[in-house]
Structure 1
Amino acid sequence: MIDFGDQVRKALKARGISLRGAAKELHYDVAYLSRVIAGKQAPSAELVQAVNELLGLSLTVEDANPHDDEMDAWELIRRVQASDVGDATLSRLERTFDDLATAYPKADPEDLLRAVRKHSTYVVKLLDAKKTLAEHRRLLTVGGWLSLLGATLHIDLNQEGAATARLQTAAALAQEAAVPEIEAWCFETDAWRVLTDGDYVRALELARVAQIAAPAGSSALIQATAQEGRAHARLGNSRETYAAVDRVHAFSSAVGTPEAPEHHYRYDPGKALSYTATTLAWLGDVAAEPYAREVIQRLSPSENVAYWPRRVASANIDLALVLVLDGRLDEACDSAQKAILSGKVVPSNHWRALEVVRAVETRELPEAADLREAYQGLKAVEQ
């Protein structure tokens, strides 16, 4: 493969022409020329022709277009195996989805979304290829999982239109491939979205539909039950909330700890702790405190908040809410500020941090100004 930038740099050096001098000769902006040579921007056909004439080269536009090395490698293996799709390609896509779902708790949502888009595009390309019925079903399934994860990331980033489109795509692929767990996760994810929007009654309805759709003993069933409990907590339904909490702990204990507990679509007892902390905090039950503290103790890699996974930031918000209720306001401000400054509170959860800020402001504490300033900084990053 010809390295366009390398060829141009060598030719410029051989002729004693500087980058600025070349830009002047070619009548192009030097910054634009620099980006093209560095491979950060594709050149126009006119620029390629002008470079060839100036330096005596025979480069093409295709030589300058950046390639996706990962996709190129996969494509090569696919062709070598003389299969339009092939088991190796599908297995790599499935492993890649698992890697992305496992990275979700710690990764930046925008970075992860770029990876989801890239692999979803590859799935679309393969859907047009010749394949067996079994391969077609596997492709639809991994496409459904990728669309579901993409929808979750769009929700985290408050991108409602894109989230809706990806959820609909995931549900359609799940139905086509006959994978009820993906369909159940679609309902559960939508329940979380409307819950964050304040529509608790609709969240309750969606969580119940998700439980009906979910296979027995599946992670989707446990998470949908958890969403039902959260909706009940926001509605102030104490008895129903505690019943949902008990069911979640019973379900998660039965499945045990999976091989990759950080995987977003695999429930485990550790996730049940985080869920309980949030649910009881929303219900106004100070019993949430030990759950939140256990999550923080188990998952905090260090005192440096920048290294926290998302669940630790969320647990600190839960803890702050409970500490406010218990009148321990200094501790509440400290926990809330750590969560906000960690950078791990995604846009869809900013409202939870705001609940603590407003509670502190209502009590007219001197720390309220600093907490509000930290929160405004959080919002500024979102914008």
Structure 2
Amino acid sequence: MRAKSSHNLPTDSTLLRNWRRWESGESRPDEFYAPIIAAAFDTVPAAFFPKARPNRDDELLSATGMDTLEFIGRLRMSDVNSATLDAVRITAERLCCEYAYADPHELHAEGTAWLRRITSLLDGRLTLSQHREILVLAGWVALLVGCVDYDLGHRAGAEATRRAADSLGREAGNPEIVGWAAEMSAWFALTQGNFRGAIDVSEKAMAGTTSMGVGVQLAAQRAKGWARLGDRRAVQTALDEGRAILARMGHPADLDNHFVVDATKFDFYAMDCCRVAGQDRLAERYAQQVIKDSTRPDGSVRNPMRVSEARLTLAVVAVRDRDLERAVEEGVAAFTAGRKSLPSLAWIAGEAAREIIERFPGDPRTQSFLEQLRSLNVG
């Protein structure tokens, strides 16, 4: 800590007493100590000491003066004012931030209910700016619902909601929502083995998104497609394009939002491409970093779906190293996360399974892994 601080610190015994209190949870490092501790571990304070999310009603009350019941009552009366729009905005943001860890069935039900409430406001008397903002907020929630639909294996519902989001984005003149709708189409295509389709969709959507986070994601989806078609140069070009967009963007304020892209997310994309390209050591390093970035200091996982794919990457690397025991261990661990994107998980696990079968076709442990894979309920 002393090496990372430009200020004089207390004696070692005092620091040790403080450390024990922090470690036990008795107290929390203040704004002076938190950056020093984070720097000692080569990270940022937000990674070690994330701000607790406020209670939903508290969040609404502090921003709008309304609790949830009053807010819903106003929506039913189509009473749209700045406070109502603020409350809708907070709710849409919260839903998008819960994507990574919330129970998908519950999130889908809540997201769908809010989408109906928000779109019902379009039937009321609105100013032009209110109309546009409601379209935008409905677009974000529709994107979220479509993603969760697909995670649950509901392909038809996901595609219908994706198209609705695209329509809302176009009507609102919001290129970011339109870009994410295209990104979802590329994601769907990839997990269904339509790699050329994913590349084409991503390329067409890139033009209007080169200064947005979704542009990074589109470049990554393109890279994933090219990786599976065996074109390493195209993979590198796409990844370089994504990195360039990321470098031009400021560091996002809220990394919990599913539709926010940051450097840690890009490591996740690069991991996939390196694994497919056979760059095992690099893929392994990326996977380890993804797991580290997705795990809180207390050991809980903030991004279980990313961790699952990272474990499958480690499984592939292990089987290529002729370590079937570790490969199966990592692979089975990938299936245990409570929060899953079933099509994505089945896709990557299927790729891992082919590697395992190729090298250890008759081994009972191979059969054990395949049985676990078959148990995934993908629509």
| Range of TM-score over shorter length | 0.7 to 0.9
In the TM superposition, residue 77 of structure 1 has moved relative to its aligned partner by 5.0
Q: Aligned letter for 2:369?
A: L
CA distance in 1 between counterparts of 2:79 and 2:219 reads 41
Other-structure match for 1:19:
none
1:159 aligns with 2:157: no
Q: How many residues align?
A: 310
**Contact 1:339/1:345, CA 8 A, preserved across alignment:** no
Match of 2:316 among 315, 321, 324: 321
* Pair 1:353 & 2:320 matched: no
When residues 177 and 245 of structure 1 are mapped into structure 2, their CA distance, relative to the original with a 3 A threshold, is same
Q: Give the AA of the match of 1:271.
A: K
Change (3 A) 1:353 1:302: farther
The structure 1 residue matched to 2:192, chosen from 183, 197, 212, is 197
Q: Per the alignment, do residues 356 and 122 of structure 1 end up closer, same or farther by CA in structure 2, a change over 3 Å counting?
A: same
Which residue among 364, 371, 378 is the counterpart of 2:369?
Answer: 371
Does 1:126 pair with 2:121? yes
Q: In the aligned structure 2, how far is the partner of 1:314 from the partner of 1:189?
A: 18
> Structure 2 vs 1, CA of residues 182 and 306 (structure 1 numbering), >3 Å: closer, same or farther?
closer
Match of 2:183 in 1: 188
Aligned residue for 2:249? 255
Cα deviation for residue 327 of structure 1 reads 2.9
Structure 2 vs 1, CA of residues 307 and 75 (structure 1 numbering), >3 Å: closer, same or farther? closer
Higher relative contact order (CA 8 A, sep 6+): 2
Matches within 5 A, 1:97-116: 97-116=92-111
1:74 to 57, 71, 75: 71
- Bigger drift between 93-102 and 227-236 goes to 93-102
* C-alpha contact 2:100 2:303 (8 A) present in aligned 1: no
1:222 aligns with 2:216: yes
Where do 5+ consecutive residues of structure 2 fail to align? 1-65
Contact 1:207 1:227 in 2 (8 A): yes
Tell me, yes or no, if structure 1 residue 272 matches structure 2 residue 246: no
Q: Name the SS for the 2:330 alignment partner.
A: helix
Establish whether residue 211 from structure 1 lines up as the match of residue 206 from structure 2. yes
What residue number does 2:79 align with?
84
Pair 1:309-2:304 in alignment: yes
Mapped partners of 2:339, 2:243: distance in 1: 26
CA offsets per residue over residues 55-89 of structure 1, 9 Å max, x none? Answer: xxxxxxxxxxxxxx97642144569xx97311111
Q: What is the rounded CA distance, in whole Å, between the counterparts of 2:136 and 2:375 in structure 1?
A: 40
Consecutive unaligned residues of structure 1, counting only runs of 5 or more, are: 1-68
Q: Is contact 2:166–2:177 with CA below 8 Å preserved after alignment?
A: yes
State how far apart, in whole Å, the 2-side matches of 1:181 and 1:150 are: 16
C-alpha distance in 1 between matches for 2:168 and 2:299 = 41
Inter-CA distance 78–150: structure 2 relative to 1 (3 Å threshold): closer
Partner of 2:44: none
| Contact 2:314-2:327 within 8 A present in 1 as well | yes
Letter in 2 for 1:200: F
Indicate the SS of the match to 1:264: coil
- Secondary structure of the corresponding residue to residue 375 of structure 2: helix
Tell me which amino acid in the other structure corresponds to 2:351.
Answer: E
CA gap of 1:292–1:138, structure 2 versus 1, over 3 A, is same
* Separation of aligned partners in 1, 2:331 and 2:75: 50
* Contact 1:207 1:228 survives alignment (8 Å): yes
How far apart in 1 are the matches of 2:298 and 2:353?
22
Amino acid at match of 2:70: A
Counterparts of 2:287 and 2:157 in 1: how far apart (Å)?
32
Q: Which moved more, 1:142-151 or 1:245-254?
A: 245-254
Which of the pair has more CA radius of gyration?
1
State the percentage of identical aligned residues.
Answer: 29
1:121-146 deviation digits (Å, cap 9, x = unpaired)? 10122111111111000001111111
Equivalents in 2 of 1:371, 1:256: separation in Å?
42
- Offset of residue 156 of structure 1: 1.4
For normalisation by structure 2, the TM-score amounts to 0.76
1:91, CA displacement in angstroms?
1.4
Distance 1:263 1:163, change over 3 A: same
How far the C-alpha of 1:355 sits from its partner, in A, is 2.4
**C-alpha offsets along residues 153-178 of structure 1, whole Å, 9 cap, x if unaligned?**
11212212211211111111111111
Tell me the amino acid that sits aligned with residue 367 of structure 1.
R
Contact 1:313 1:344 in 2 (8 A): no
